[in-house]
Amino acid sequence: MTQDRRSGAIDRITAIDDGCIGHFIAGQAVPGAGTTFDVTEPATGQSLGTARDATAGELDAAVKAAKDAFPAWAAVPGDKRRAVLHRIADLIVERAEEIAAVECVDAGQCWRFMSKAAIRGAENFRFFADRAPGARDGQALPAGGQLNVTTRTPIGPVGVITPWNTPFMLSTWKIAPALAAGCTVVHKPAEWSPYSARLLVEIAHEAGLPAGVFNAVNGLGETTGRRLTEHPDIKAVAFVGESRTGSAIMKQGADTLKRVHFELGGKNPVIVFDDADLDRALDAVVFMIYSLNGQRCTSSSRLLVQSSIREAFEAKLAARVANLKVGDPLDPATEVGPLIHQRHLDKVASYMDIARADGAKIAVGGERIEGAGYFFQPTLFTGAAQSMRIAQEEIFGPVLTVIPFEDEADAIAKANDVEYGLAGYVWTRDMGRGLRVSQALEAGMVWVNSENVRHLPSPFGGVKASGIGRDGGDWSFDFYMETKNIALAYQDHAIQKLGA
């Protein structure tokens, strides 16, 4: 079964544009004429094919398609947009196995998580589909003698730029609300995992989305990504990726005054107090850093554990980490797969020397796994201090840093002592403490006695270097739409008679 899934996915990938993936513009596959770059399979290190970096002309064509399609799509009644988005969700569900297998092969993510990720992508479409009819609704704000009425209109063609870690699910989270709002889209997926983005754009057209409403271009960040963010006809950029890329995009978009939405990196703390349900806390700690190969923005990559329970908790944790099943991502039993790329493997591996030099201990793992592919042992650092680089920097691999704390104030101080502020996790049976700590954490999202459980109406996003803006619920529409206020005078008032 595993082998069948892999060969099916590879057949599907190599069938796209005869093995050299190009673009999808105005409802058509466009092979492209730009330079090519290799795409490798993380589990084997072998080439899956090549991809085209869009030329300036191809990028312009994609933006023009989105611009031309915008007035008609924006005018489509909300209930009709709702119906198309539901059809997209239906087709994603029908093809969930195929999408999941492509994602495993292309991004190295494990089947046990990807088989659900495609379905979550469909749920993202359904959630925003159902909100499409009400997206324009505004408020009535009475003032003395005037009634203020607000409405919302879609902002225009938007650029969506996504990373390689869970490409399909993440793209749907950005693209579904844009389409539901009435915007048109040019999507640029990450160069290390470009294939599931093609499946999504094809599915959208098969579902009846008009040509040009959703376009996808491939290419490198510094060329295609840059041109997209600089393009005067792109009104807003929704970006998910590294903090320093977000900073570059803000500069690139400055001349055209782009509206930006950034979901960036994290160095998220999970704080375990000595009164917590320690068995559940242990499950959550392991899940939130070692699932998705540690390549998850909301991963709890720092464990802050109260000193009184540190030794016992660390011992149980070490046993679990040493027991994680690393292997073929398509094998349903596998818990940790490979890292995305040789360059990323080198980056993660480099933190082993950094940890040793700073005086931390590698309690578990710490080595590349010999053989094909970009595998790294699940790793646990102990004896760490908050000042060390392994406690400050986003490593983005299956690597957890344990830092002890003494009391509530110490936990809060250490949790906040990073440049990032995406998510935080708190484990305690004392709900008063849970609330106090949640309020004190510098983070966009806090889960108390829980791992990251997504709830689509709730806001998702970070503070500090972790982002600008929120997704989810109506927050997504606020980004993709302009609010207009119309003031209607319903009684005469004194108007100053200048020059009378």
Residues at the interface with ligand NAD (CB under 6 A): 161-165, 170, 188, 190-191, 221-222, 225-226, 229, 240-242, 245, 248-249, 252, 263-266, 297, 394, 396, 422, 462, 467
Q: Which is nearer to ligand NAD, 276 or 297 (CB)?
A: 297
What's the min distance (Å) between Cβ of 254 and ligand NAD? Answer: 13
Tell me whether residue 226 or residue 259 sits nearer to ligand NAD (CB atom): 226
> Residue 49 or 159: which CB sits closer to ligand NAD?
159
- What's the closest the beta carbon of residue 219 comes to ligand NAD, in angstroms? 7
| Integer Cα distance of 460 and 445 in angstroms | 7
Dist. CA 211–CA 28, nearest whole Å:
8
Closest by CA position to 245, among listed 221, 223, 261: 221
Q: Which is nearer to ligand NAD, 191 or 335 (CB)?
A: 191
Closer Cβ to ligand NAD, 297 or 321, answer by number: 297
The single residue of 230, 263, 314, 335 carrying the catalytic annotation is 263
Give one word for 443, left, alpha or beta, with left for phi > 0 and alpha for psi -120 to 50: beta
CB 347 within 8 A of CB 368: no
Q: How far is the CB of 492 from ligand NAD (least distance, A)?
A: 52
195-206 and 2-15 helices cross at what angle (nearest 10)?
A: 70
Q: Is-catalytic flag, 263? A: yes
Q: How far apart are CA 324 and CA 439, in angstroms?
A: 34
Q: How far is the CB of 31 from ligand NAD (least distance, A)?
A: 20
Specify the 3-state DSSP secondary structure of 443. Answer: coil
Which lies closer to ligand NAD via its Cβ, residue 278 or residue 340?
340
Sequence-ordered strand ranges (E) for 169-296: 184-188, 214-216, 236-240, 259-263, 269-272
Q: How far is it, in rounded angstroms, from Cα 463 to Cα 476?
A: 16
CB-closest chain residue to ligand NAD: 221
Token pair, residue 141, equals 């704000």
Residue 487: its H or E element = strand 481-489
**Distance of closest approach, residue 255 Cβ to ligand NAD, in angstroms:** 14
How far, CA to CA in Å, does 112 sit from each of 101, 118, 134, 336, 340? Answer: 11, 11, 36, 10, 17
CB of 118 to ligand NAD, least distance (A): 17
Indicate which residues carry an active-site annotation. Answer: 263
